Amino acid sequence: MVGGVSDPTIDSPMSTILAAYPGARRALFARYHLGGCQSCGFPDEESLASLAARSGGHDPEEMLRHLREADAHDRTMLVEPVALAEWLRDSPPPLLVDTRTREEHEAVHLADSLFMTQELQQELFSGDPARVIVLYDHTGRHVLDHCSWFRGHGLKSTFGLAGGIDRWAREIDPSLRRYRLEID
């Protein structure tokens, strides 16, 4: 099991691979230029083997190895809710940044977190590169992309909250109101 999903094989549909390896689309695009745009995209039901064959005869087993390695690296960028609760007791605590929509942030957010704006992003990119920053979204589905973006701009102490605010509400602070998005 990977991320609560059966360990994918080359015959697994891309939806299963993306569920098991949340950063798979980014990893496929970075190495093979697949999945980033309409011309190189793939449907959820297509298998990795089929994608490999139709996109230039890539070795699907090598592609799967690459996805597993990329996922192992991605997981080093995540902080579990229990660990974050401990970090928040440190002095100084990490900066919490909410990457969801303004409406979601205004409805419910982690205490002392800031809403991500372009101005805040630019301020952080030009600030202390050693500052510990923890980004969070709704379910942790997109936070790895945001972490990669921040780390790519020199902020190597940026982490993403595993499972997002939803998991935080389930495991750490049940007083936070939970919600569901149709697009999530």
| Cα separation, 142 vs 49, whole angstroms | 25
pTM of the model: 0.81
With contact defined as beta carbons under 8 Å apart, do 165 and 110 qualify?
yes
User: φ and ψ at 108, to 5 degrees?
Assistant: -160, 135
List domains and CATH numbers for the chain: 14-74 (no CATH), 78-171 (3.40.250.10)
Residue 36 pLDDT? 76
How far, rounded to the nearest angstrom, does the alpha carbon of residue 9 sit from its chain's CA centroid? 22
**In a structure prediction context, what are the per-residue pLDDT tens digits for the chain, which is 184 residues long?**
555 667 899 999 999 999 899 889 889 998 999 987 777 789 999 999 999 999 888 999 999 999 999 999 999 999 999 999 999 999 999 999 999 999 999 999 999 999 999 999 999 999 999 999 999 999 998 899 899 999 999 999 999 999 999 999 999 999 999 998 876 5
For every residue of 10-37, DSSP letters joined together read TTSBHHHHHHH-TTHHHHHHHHH--SSS
| Cα separation, 21 vs 127, whole angstroms | 31
